[in-house]
């Protein structure tokens, strides 16, 4: 005879729980989870997006907030939360922006989800594609990568995500210029942040972690400041909220992602969190403390450079996007 399955009750309201927060010890139902995510998101939004009572520009145009969407769960939750929290403000225009990388069987259905959600929320939807930026479609890039690796030692062993990440950042910058955005919101969750911190530590690139969003107190000249309102929300909680809220989002994975360093870091972070709940929060808290020490120290902030070819912000004389574009032109 099979034993009955015991379902824990919500720690807050005694309804049937759908999720266990191992780091807090709480069991939460769908409503209490969604309320918790909204509170944490609103708190971060207030800290990261500092708006005056009237945020309109001197010419009367509204403050423009570009929300980077992909059709996935994170950006779906981000957009819906931002609309719910500040969507009624007449002095703020919320715009959803999506970069089309050109990945067959992946980007179109995910973009359709993002477009449908934007329409449901009454939000303007803008897109930009790699060809519009002067780059090749990502499927074409992947087909040329073996030859590029043979020609350039720096490119040898690179994964598709290395190219796509560089081009996508340029795409987001272009969307910000296109929409005249004052600030850009990204859907990075707690797992994303922890993975980025770990990857940067592995490579000894602490300053790269310091430059991670949010950029509220340290904007870079020439770029719309990035904010990350979901940075303290674990991926599992975002997924659960998206499901119980019936948000349209694409469930598939990018066909070019397997083998990427972030995928490996994802597994490491998940194992650490499973063994020691709260690890992800600890990594992000550590970064916040490092940032404080960095700001209080005597070290000068990195000087801003602009690519000699495309004039975009970079840490090199020629940005990585232009370097990769040149590689692609050679094969």
pLDDT band at 303, cuts 50/70/90? low
| Token pair of 72 as six digits | 């996935």
**Band of pLDDT at residue 259, cut at 50, 70 and 90:** confident
How many structural domains comprise the chain?
Answer: 1
Q: Tell me whether residue 307 is in a domain.
A: no
Please give the model's pTM, rounded to 2 decimal places: 0.93
Q: Is residue 2 part of a domain?
A: no
* Cα atoms in the Cβ-side hemisphere of radius 13 Å centred on 243: 12
Decide if pLDDT at 20 tops 70.
yes
Query: Within a domain: residue 212?
Result: yes
pLDDT of residue 289: 94
Residue 64 lies in a domain: yes
What would the two tokens of residue 289 be? 């403390």
Pick from 224, 222, 218: nearest CA to 311: 222
- For residues 91 and 253, the model is more confident at 91
> What CATH number is attached to the domain comprising 32?
3.40.50.620
Domain assignment present for 232: yes
131 within domain boundaries? yes
pLDDT digits 0-9 by tens, 290-300: 988 887 775 55
Specify the length of the chain in residues.
331
In a domain, 225, yes or no: yes
Q: In the 8-state DSSP scheme, what is residue 183? A: E
- pLDDT, mean over the chain: 93
Domain that holds residue 174: 19-297
> Is 97 contained in some domain?
yes
């Amino acid at each position: 005879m099979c034993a009955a399955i015991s379902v824990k009750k919500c720690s807050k309201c005694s309804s049937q729980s759908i999720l266990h927060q191992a780091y807090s010890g709480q069991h939460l139902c769908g409503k209490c989870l969604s309320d918790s995510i909204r509170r944490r998101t609103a708190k971060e939004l207030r800290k990261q997006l500092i708006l005056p009572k009237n945020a309109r520009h001197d010419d009367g145009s509204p403050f423009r907030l570009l929300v980077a969407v992909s059709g996935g769960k994170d950006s779906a939750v981000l957009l819906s939360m931002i609309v719910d929290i500040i969507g009624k403000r007449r002095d703020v225009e919320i715009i959803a922006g999506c970069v089309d990388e050109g990945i067959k069987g992946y980007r179109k259905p995910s973009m359709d989800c993002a477009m449908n959600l934007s329409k449901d929320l009454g939000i303007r939807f803008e897109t930009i594609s790699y060809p519009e930026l002067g780059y090749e479609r990502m499927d074409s890039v992947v087909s040329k990568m073996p030859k590029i690796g043979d020609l350039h030692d720096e490119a040898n062993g690179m994964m598709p995500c290395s190219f796509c990440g560089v081009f996508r950042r340029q795409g987001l910058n272009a969307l910000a210029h296109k929409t005249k955005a004052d600030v850009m919101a990204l859907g990075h969750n707690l797992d994303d942040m922890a993975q980025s911190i770990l990857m940067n530590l592995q490579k000894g690139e602490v300053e790269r972690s310091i430059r991670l969003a949010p950029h509220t107190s340290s904007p870079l000249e020439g770029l719309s400041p990035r904010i990350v309102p979901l940075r303290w929300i674990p991926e599992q909680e975002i997924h659960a909220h998206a499901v119980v809220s019936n948000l349209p989002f694409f469930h598939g994975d990018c066909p070019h992602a397997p083998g990427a360093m972030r995928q490996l870091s994802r597994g490491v972070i998940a194992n650490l969190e499973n063994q020691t709940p709260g690890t992800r929060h600890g990594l992000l808290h550590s970064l916040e403390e490092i940032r404080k020490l960095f700001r209080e120290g005597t070290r000068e902030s990195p000087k801003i450079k602009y690519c000699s070819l495309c004039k975009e912000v970079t840490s090199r004389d020629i940005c990585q996007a232009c370097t990769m574009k040149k590689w692609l032109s050679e094969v």
